[in-house]
Amino acid sequence: MIVFDLETTGLDVKKDRIVQYCFMNEKKSISSLIYPEMKIPKSATDVHKISDKDVELCQPFKDHAESIVDFIMSEKVIAGFNIINFDLPLLANEMMRCGFKDFAMMIFVALTEPEKSELIIIDGSSIFRNFFKRTLTGAAEYYLDVDFTDSAHDAVRDGEITMQVIQAQMEKYNIDTNKAFEISLMPPEGFLDRACKIKSDGKFTFGKYAGKHVSEADIGYLQWIVNGDFDFQTKHVIKKLGNLK
């Protein structure tokens, strides 16, 4: 199994570039900083601490691509955390740019038609979400070590368990009510809204303006969202970025 992780110039899997990689198995690892052939935004440097100066004398990804492909193909089992949604698509696009189209297509086939795939992909994030039930029953099992299945969906019992779960969470993570409030309304990482309609760079994830900044959309489209059946936080972000009243 080859486990890997990437640091990049941003969150756009089509346009952003790799600035650091690491691929490893139990016997060997290969890693390097990469010259991304573009400026590294401050927002990215703030996350991974890699600046333009750090990579200005490094080789571009095309000089590393062949050794990475050879390493992956030596086992044909590639693993990581949240790689299906981010690292693998971005890696495939980097491979396409430097001429490794067959390998890039192998990744895309694995992601879209796994029954035809030559690669085995293991995503620890997906496994975690599969086994960690995001329900009150699952939270009771994790935080309280209580099997709550038989008594779930009774308002009184649900309330009692919920109180215990939240108290356990606040104690475990050493947070007060204000911090708990902040976390409760916090959108998923990489997004400005809980519904994941707007990425952290202000670009749409859906519709005819997918991949474009909210400010690029016409006013009628923005008003359709604001007046439509969308999450109130999504509407708030649209109003703010679109300068709507």
pLDDT higher than 80, residue 155? no
Q: Are 143 and 169 in contact (CB under 8 A)?
A: yes
Take residue 150 and report the two structure tokens written for it: 């038989």
Query: Domains of the chain, with CATH numbers?
Result: 2-127 (3.30.420.10), 132-184 (no CATH), 190-245 (no CATH)
Question: Residue 153 — pLDDT band, cuts 50, 70, 90?
Answer: low
Residue 196, sorted as left (phi over 0), alpha (psi -120 to 50) or beta, turns out to be left
Question: What's the rounded Cα separation, in Å, for the pair 18 and 33?
Answer: 9
Question: Residue 231 — pLDDT band, cuts 50, 70, 90?
Answer: confident
pLDDT higher than 80, residue 107? yes
In this prediction, what percent of the chain has a pLDDT beyond 90? 62
Q: 224 phi and psi, to 5 degrees?
A: -60, -40
pLDDT higher than 70, residue 136? yes
Give tens-digit pLDDT for 120-130. Answer: 999 988 877 77
CA separation, residue 148 to residues 77, 129, 155, 165 (Å): 37, 19, 13, 12
Question: Model-level pTM greater than 0.85?
Answer: no
Do β-strands 2-8 and 18-24 pair in parallel, antiparallel, or remain unpaired?
antiparallel
If you average pLDDT over every residue of the chain, what do you get? 90
Give tens-digit pLDDT for 5-19. Answer: 999 999 888 899 999
Q: Are 1 and 79 in contact (CB under 8 A)?
A: yes
Cα angle for residues 122, 127, 128 (degrees, 5° grid): 135
CA separation, residue 12 to residues 8, 63, 93, 189 (Å): 9, 22, 11, 14
What pLDDT is stored for residue 11 in this prediction? 87
Question: What's the rounded Cα separation, in Å, for the pair 24 and 12?
Answer: 24
pLDDT higher than 90, residue 88? yes
Q: Are 125 and 189 in contact (CB under 8 A)?
A: no
What pLDDT is stored for residue 152 in this prediction? 60
What pLDDT is stored for residue 91 in this prediction? 96
Give tens-digit pLDDT for 174-220. Answer: 999 888 888 887 888 889 998 899 999 999 999 999 999 999 999 99
pLDDT higher than 90, residue 95? yes
